[in-house]
Amino acid sequence: MNSIKVKSPATLSNLCCGFDILGMALKDPFDIIELISKEEPGISIKHIDGYGLPSDPKENIAGVALQAMMDSLHYTKGFEIIIEKNIKPGSGIGSSAASAAGIVVAANELLNRPFTKQQLVSFAMEGELLASGSRHADNLAPCIYGGLVLIRDTQTLDIIEIKTPPLFITIIHPQIEIKTSYARSILPKDIPLKSAVIQWANVAGLISGFLCSDYQLIGRSLQDVIVEPIRSKLIPGFDEVKKKSLEVGALGGGISGSGPSLFMLSETLSVAKQVESEMKSIYNNLGIDYKTYLTEVGQNGVEVI
């Protein structure tokens, strides 16, 4: 086998109270990444999408992640990468993570799996570092492991898979730009201990809700008293989306990653559809372009196709 094609899914990170520690893989949307081994050294990259991403492997997220893996193997031959991105860069649903995770999983398969999932996350983080300037795994880890994951410790990459009951996920991506670095810069360095206690009580409730399939507890725990009050101001329509979604029966939700995408979790498909319709109507009224997704938890993460 000298070529492989994978689909690499979008991911939700944070999940309200789980800032910087939780991420969930989605079924849709996903990028398609093809990897072809070649005898000549080096990486060449071709995009068959319209996003104008860099094809210089040193400036490309997939290129940097793949190079990190090749360096670790002292690999002397090369690869050609063909990327068809469907997850719009800057959407807040893990577009860069999908590139970095997809390529390392693909290369690991082509090379007969020399690496563990944890090692793959570590290589992919080199790509994420290029994208966001910081080493975070909360989109990468779910993309590689599938499902919901907890990054208990980023230093040692202590990644814990958390089982979830079936969930329907509605996402709206308003076509506005929020830089991850800016969204991070407006967060306070210090927070009140009282707020932190509220946050970790909700984190505990959320994990318990997922593991015990307690939908109502999931809903009550999807609160974020630290980050959401600040970042939500960057997203027109946020308050109304949340209010209307809860009114039609969503369990809860908030900002995906650093935004601008918003997500809502629902127990049933019919509620998730109603949430989508409310979201559309709110952004139609605001006159802001958008794209919506109605999906489920992606249990497998990156998959060979």
Closest approach of Cβ 114 to a copy of itself, in Å? 26
**Inter-residue contact 11 to 169 (CB < 8 Å):** no
Interaction between residue 211 and a copy of itself (CB under 8 A): yes
> Two tokens at 228?
């959401």
Interaction between residue 289 and a copy of itself (CB under 8 A): no
Nearer to a copy of itself, 101 or 226 (CB): 226
> What torsion do the CA atoms of 74, 80, 81, 82 make, to the nearest 10 degrees?
-170
Nearer to a copy of itself, 48 or 187 (CB): 187
Interaction between residue 1 and a copy of itself (CB under 8 A): no
Q: Give the integer Cα–Cα distance in Å for 73 and 213.
A: 42
Nearer to a copy of itself, 17 or 106 (CB): 17
Interaction between residue 186 and a copy of itself (CB under 8 A): no
Q: Give the integer Cα–Cα distance in Å for 12 and 103.
A: 19
**Among positions 48, 73, 191, 304, the unique one binding a copy of itself when judged by CB under 8 A:** 191
**Inter-residue contact 21 to 138 (CB < 8 Å):** yes
Nearer to a copy of itself, 159 or 272 (CB): 159
Characterize the bridge pairing of strands 42-47 and 78-84.
Answer: parallel
Burial class (CB in 10 A: 0-12, 13-18, 19+), 252: buried
Stretch that binds a copy of itself, among 116-124, 174-182, 220-228, 292-300 (CB under 8 A): 220-228
Catalytic site includes residue 128: yes
Q: Give the integer Cα–Cα distance in Å for 119 and 141.
A: 10
Closest by CA to 280, choosing from 154, 272, 297, 32, is: 272
Which residue out of 11, 170, 180, 295 is catalytically annotated?
A: 180
Measured in whole angstroms, the distance separating CA 112 from the mean position of its chain's CA atoms is 26
With CB under 8 A as the rule, give the number of residues binding a copy of itself: 39
Neighbours of 111 (CB within 10 A): 15
Q: Give the integer Cα–Cα distance in Å for 86 and 76.
A: 31
**Among positions 21, 106, 131, 183, the unique one binding a copy of itself when judged by CB under 8 A:** 21
Stretch that binds a copy of itself, among 41-49, 112-120, 191-199, 252-260 (CB under 8 A): 191-199
**Among positions 186, 201, 269, 286, the unique one binding a copy of itself when judged by CB under 8 A:** 201
Interaction between residue 205 and a copy of itself (CB under 8 A): yes
Measured in whole angstroms, the distance separating CA 224 from the mean position of its chain's CA atoms is 18
Nearer to a copy of itself, 58 or 163 (CB): 163
Q: Give the integer Cα–Cα distance in Å for 198 and 196.
A: 5
Q: Give the integer Cα–Cα distance in Å for 242 and 285.
A: 16
Catalytic site includes residue 180: yes
Closest approach of Cβ 199 to a copy of itself, in Å? 6
Which residue out of 34, 126, 128, 267 is catalytically annotated?
A: 128
**Among positions 36, 176, 217, 246, the unique one binding a copy of itself when judged by CB under 8 A:** 217
Question: Annotated active-site positions, please?
Answer: 128, 180
Residues that bind a copy of itself in the complex, under the rule CB under 8 A:
17-22, 150-153, 158, 160, 162, 187-193, 196-208, 211-212, 217, 220-221, 226
